[in-house]
Amino acid sequence: MFTLGKRFMEHVVPGVIKPLRVLWNEVIGFIFISLGVVGAGNVIRFYGDVEQGGRMFISAAFSIVMLYFGITSFWKARKIGKT
């Protein structure tokens, strides 16, 4: 009885875990890209204001990092999906 359960787990679990990992990376990538777009909106808003120059650069750095994390998350999801 236990060997049947073990064989079932060996065959089914990898088939379920892989799509869940791909989905997780895609969801996280979407969240990061969304945060990057919101930060880019702040960069545009602060662009012309000399007094808010520091906030513009902080927002730009935040946007770049979030967009990078989002893109790499989608790349990782694609890599996992191919294997």
Structure confidence at residue 40 (pLDDT):
94
Rounded mean pLDDT for each run of 10 residues along the chain, 83 residues in total: 82 89 97 97 87 87 97 96 85
Structure confidence at residue 12 (pLDDT):
87
Structure confidence at residue 54 (pLDDT):
85
pTM: 0.82
Residues 44 and 42: their CA atoms lie apart, in Å, by: 5
Q: Counting Cβ atoms within 10 Å, is residue 60 exposed (0-12), middle (13-18) or buried (19+)?
A: middle
Structure confidence at residue 8 (pLDDT):
83
Structure confidence at residue 52 (pLDDT):
77
What phi and psi values does residue 68 have, to the nearest 5 degrees?
Answer: -60, -45
CB of 44 within 8 A of CB of 55?
A: no
